[in-house]
Chain A
Amino acid sequence: MRANLSKWWHTIKIAWSNQTAYRLNFFLQVIGPALVFFFIKYNLWSAIFAGDRAQVIQGYNFSEMINYHVWALIVGLLGQGHTAMNLSEDIRMGRISTYLIYPFDFWEFHSASFIAFQLLQTIICLFSIAALYFLGIVEFHGYLPFFQGFFYTIYVSVFWFSLQFLTGILAFWLEETWILRVLLMLITAFFSGAIIPLDFFPPLLVKFLYFTPFPYLTYYPIKVFLGSFTDLLTPYFTLSIWTVVIIWLNSLLWKKGMKLYTAAGM
């Protein structure tokens, strides 16, 4: 047990070093897109509310709308920042052969990398929140909503990681998994309320979306951060079911994929 924990700890440290080695690349790839996305939304809503920032559009005045998008930025960074790019490359380039002979599984290695990534993202998010708070762009809604939102977003990231893992191991069958990954990001960004709040969607579509995990990935955690939603049982329960299903699928596909694996490049 202790030896196993040591392996995890060392892998997390290595993954941390890898991610911080090319800082410019990390910034451009992970933080930059989230900041630009927020910048566009800030400008768009400024143009929409121009002239009368106190007017209320679908339950939001200007300040509330910007607060929504600031928390969308945080949820995006912390909950949906991780990608399975390295994972699918490991399969495609035949690098998983190494994991098959090492006493540390493929999923363990990538889970440890994910933990390192999340630690880094947590630090970035805390700095971002502090900076935005002192600049007067975001409002703080109390410690309880903050911690509830933070832990729930971490839970979202576990779901997101399992989903990314799924798209990654599809590299056993697909020549290019990036298409699936981008498609997943596009669908999630739109249907989770990251682009515009779900309150602007047609009611029938919103009703349907609640049968999917999407509202629980961005819209719900934002509302928890804002202190508007206090029912945490439903989102935790719903996400848990989806996570279990995806982990089961991952395990199934991994076993099937291993039968196809030809160790390309060896």
Chain B
Amino acid sequence: MFKHYFEVYKKFVETCFTQASSFRLSFALLIIMDLFFYFSALASVTFIFDYVPAIGPWSKDKFLFFVSFMLAVNHLHMTIVSENFWELSLLIRTGQMDFVLLKPIHSLFTSFFRHFRPASMLNGIAAWTLLIYYGIKLDLAALSWVLLPSMILTAFALNVVIEMIVAVSMFWIVEGLGINFLRMQFQQLSRWPDFIYGNITRRVLTIAMPILLIGSGPVRFLLDWKDYQLLLGMIVALVVFFKILLWVWDLGLKKYDSASS
């Protein structure tokens, strides 16, 4: 089964590369857009740290390591899934979801992994260079370096699963554009460490909608192995929210009434 899905995904990626090579200006602009986003995220924090010695318990380098960790997660998100969320509202509204449901492959897979962004993929070099640079500055332990890729993948997985659950609400709403903006607001909130938020907000965004676990869980652990509680929470949240996703996706499909038929 895994091989079958891999072969299908390879085809998806190939067609996206062909498509991207036809629109070269959009391709270049997408790279510039992502790079400017990286620059503004890091520069904002750097400019603040020119005037303050620490924010919460973290120094400038720890904070910048966190930001670059989130940029690496964002890079995967932009490359692998981002475009699919925008397409989903179109699939549902226009009835094109019919064709997704007819395919002999799980509809979740086709809905959220059909579109791949080759332009964003190239920015991985910048995202990983920044992450490695700030990791070296912090003198990360060897084990932390070994665990870093798996931490990013797990953080990315939790991020995507939560956003997919939010996106499923498009089945109940006529205009799904607003849901995508809501999803992006969750991303914005998760891009800052948990300790900047007040008690109530932190609890809500760690337990009910665990978006703060995406960055704070793994980064806190990578910086100090004794600080593993949030990382455990992230793994538990990933399993629980994946189950919820499968359940709400089925509910959404039952609600879907094919606009074209």
Q: B176-202 toward A: CB 8 Å interface, digit per residue (1/0)? A: 011101101100110010011110010
The yes or no answer to B30 lying at the interface (CB within 8 A) is yes
Pair A22/B174 contact, Cβ less than 8 Å: yes
Q: A22-60 toward B: CB 8 Å interface, digit per residue (1/0)? A: 101111110011001101100110111010000001100
CB distance from A170 to the nearest CB of B (A): 10
Pair B40/A200 contact, Cβ less than 8 Å: no
Q: B160-186 toward A: CB 8 Å interface, digit per residue (1/0)? A: 000000000000011101110110110
The yes or no answer to B37 lying at the interface (CB within 8 A) is yes
Pair B175/A195 contact, Cβ less than 8 Å: no
Pair A28/B33 contact, Cβ less than 8 Å: no
The yes or no answer to B32 lying at the interface (CB within 8 A) is yes
CB distance from B82 to the nearest CB of A (A): 11
Interface size class of B (residues with CB under 8 A): 35 or more
The yes or no answer to A130 lying at the interface (CB within 8 A) is no
Pair B47/A40 contact, Cβ less than 8 Å: no
Q: Which residues of A contact B174 (CB under 8 A)?
A: 22
Q: Which residue of B lies closest to A185 (CB)?
A: B33
The yes or no answer to B18 lying at the interface (CB within 8 A) is no
The yes or no answer to B48 lying at the interface (CB within 8 A) is yes
Q: B61-84 toward A: CB 8 Å interface, digit per residue (1/0)? A: 000000000000000000000000
Given contacts A26-B178, A196-B47, contact A33 B25 (CB under 8 A): no
Given contacts A174-B25, A175-B26, A186-B36, contact A36 B188 (CB under 8 A): yes
The yes or no answer to A126 lying at the interface (CB within 8 A) is no
Stretch at the interface among B51-59, B101-109, B143-151, B221-229: B51-59
Task: Pick the contact of A36: B29, B47, B50, B189 (CB < 8 A).
Answer: B189
Task: Pick the contact of B192: A40, A179, A200 (CB < 8 A).
Answer: A40
Pair B185/A33 contact, Cβ less than 8 Å: yes
CA–CA, A40 to B184, complex, Å?
13
CA–CA, A22 to B48, complex, Å?
39
Pair A43/B196 contact, Cβ less than 8 Å: yes
Q: Which residues of B contact A249 (CB under 8 A)?
A: none
The yes or no answer to B2 lying at the interface (CB within 8 A) is no
The yes or no answer to A189 lying at the interface (CB within 8 A) is yes
Pair B47/A183 contact, Cβ less than 8 Å: no
- B73-122 contacts to A, CB under 8 A, are none
Q: Which residues of A contact B33 (CB under 8 A)?
A: 179, 182-183, 186
Q: Which residues of B contact A195 (CB under 8 A)?
A: 40, 44
Q: A173-205 toward B: CB 8 Å interface, digit per residue (1/0)? A: 111100110110011011000011000111000
CA–CA, A39 to B185, complex, Å?
11
Pair B196/A24 contact, Cβ less than 8 Å: no
Interface size class of A (residues with CB under 8 A): 35 or more
Q: Which residues of B contact A180 (CB under 8 A)?
A: 29
The yes or no answer to B43 lying at the interface (CB within 8 A) is yes
Q: Which residues of A contact B177 (CB under 8 A)?
A: 25, 29
The yes or no answer to B23 lying at the interface (CB within 8 A) is yes
Pair A183/B36 contact, Cβ less than 8 Å: yes
CB distance from A198 to the nearest CB of B (A): 10
Pair B40/A25 contact, Cβ less than 8 Å: no
CA–CA, A29 to B179, complex, Å?
8
Q: Which residues of B contact A25 (CB under 8 A)?
A: 173, 175, 177-178
CB distance from A145 to the nearest CB of B (A): 26
Q: Which residues of B contact A40 (CB under 8 A)?
A: 188-189, 192
CB distance from B36 to the nearest CB of A (A): 5
Pair B178/A22 contact, Cβ less than 8 Å: yes
CA–CA, A22 to B185, complex, Å?
19
Pair B36/A176 contact, Cβ less than 8 Å: no
Q: Which residues of A contact B188 (CB under 8 A)?
A: 33, 36-37, 40
Given contacts A32-B182, A200-B50, contact A179 B198 (CB under 8 A): no
CB distance from A25 to the nearest CB of B (A): 4
Task: Pick the contact of A28: B43, B52, B178, B195 (CB < 8 A).
Answer: B178
CB distance from A91 to the nearest CB of B (A): 15
- A187-235 contacts to B, CB under 8 A, are 187, 189-190, 195-196, 200-202
CA–CA, A202 to B179, complex, Å?
38
Q: List 11 A-B contacts (CB under 8 A).
A: A22-B175, A28-B181, A36-B189, A43-B197, A44-B192, A47-B55, A175-B23, A179-B26, A183-B32, A190-B43, A196-B44
- 7 closest pairs, A vs B, by CB? A28-B178, A25-B178, A47-B196, A190-B40, A36-B185, A183-B33, A25-B175
Which A residues have a C-beta under 8 Å from some C-beta of B? 22, 24-29, 32-33, 36-37, 39-40, 43-44, 46-48, 50, 57-58, 173-176, 179-180, 182-183, 186-187, 189-190, 195-196, 200-202
